[in-house]
């Protein structure tokens, strides 16, 4: 048998060295599914599991947040019903309207929502879920007129909250006055009252 020259053997070894890295990943992936997956991380004491747990989703969401999202989702998916659909405020946006809305709010809403709509009224701490943070919510895009009228009129019974329905207690104009007061930023009624 004729011996190959040294240069030919080196060339063959170089070709094999070039092909092995190209063929190896394909061979490994053919072994079994998941064999090429990284190992699950071990315990990291600098970032314990309670810090990296999923905060939202089924079973992880606080009840108060779930109730609020249910109301918002209901509005977004199904609307407010024919009674409130397309409704807009019928009261003028004047200092008198805002002052009247402030008085109505103080009598009917402040005990739960707080005088400035921050959810810190005297009765708030006994409620679960807690009252909505109206000062924040009134600035959100969802706070359109029909949503506010529907929420105040129908209350929270359908969402299992203690928010009372005001459709039989307040006139629609009175509800619009409360909305005007909230949209004005919950001013002190003395500030909102008309100047003599």
Residue 112 lies in a domain: yes
In this prediction, residues 175-190 reach a mean pLDDT of 92
pLDDT top residue among 10 and 28:
10
Residue 13 lies in a domain: no
Burial label, 179 (beta-carbon count in 10 A; 0-12, 13-18, 19+): buried
Angle between helices 145-154 and 172-183 (to 10 degrees): 120
- For residue 77, what are the CA distances in angstroms to 71, 72, 80, 109? 10, 9, 9, 27
CATH of residue 75's domain is 1.10.760.10
Residue 93 lies in a domain: yes
Residue 17 lies in a domain: no
Residue 86 lies in a domain: yes
| Mean of pLDDT over the chain | 81
Residue 83 lies in a domain: yes
Residue 6 lies in a domain: no
In this prediction, residues 46-56 reach a mean pLDDT of 54
Domain count, the chain: 1
The distance from CA 143 to its chain's CA centroid, rounded to whole angstroms, is: 14
pLDDT band at 196 (very low <50, low <70, confident <90, very high): very low
Region of poorest pLDDT, from 14-28, 129-143, 149-163: 14-28
> How far is residue 141's CA from residue 74's CA, in Å, rounded to a whole number?
15
Q: Which domain holds residue 92?
A: 63-192
DSSP 195: P
At residue 88, the pLDDT reads 96
pLDDT band at 195 (very low <50, low <70, confident <90, very high): very low
Residue 49 lies in a domain: no
């Amino acid at each position: 048998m004729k011996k190959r020259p040294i240069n030919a053997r080196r060339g063959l070894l170089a070709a094999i060295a070039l092909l092995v890295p190209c063929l190896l990943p394909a061979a490994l992936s053919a072994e079994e599914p998941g064999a090429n997956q990284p190992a699950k991380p071990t315990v990291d004491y600098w970032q314990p599991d309670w810090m990296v747990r999923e905060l939202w989703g089924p079973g992880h969401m606080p009840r108060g947040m779930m109730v609020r999202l249910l109301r918002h989702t209901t509005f977004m998916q199904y609307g407010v019903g024919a009674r409130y659909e397309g409704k807009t405020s019928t009261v003028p946006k004047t200092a008198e309207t805002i002052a009247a809305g402030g008085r109505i709010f103080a009598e009917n809403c402040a005990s739960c929502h707080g005088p400035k709509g921050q959810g810190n009224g005297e009765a708030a701490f006994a409620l679960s879920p807690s009252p909505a943070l109206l000062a924040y919510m009134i600035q959100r895009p969802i706070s359109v007129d029909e949503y506010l009228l529907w929420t105040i009129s129908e209350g929270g019974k359908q969402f299992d909250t203690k928010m009372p329905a005001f459709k039989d207690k307040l006139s629609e104009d009175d509800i619009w006055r409360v909305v005007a007061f909230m949209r004005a930023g919950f001013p002190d009624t003395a500030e909102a009252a008309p100047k003599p």
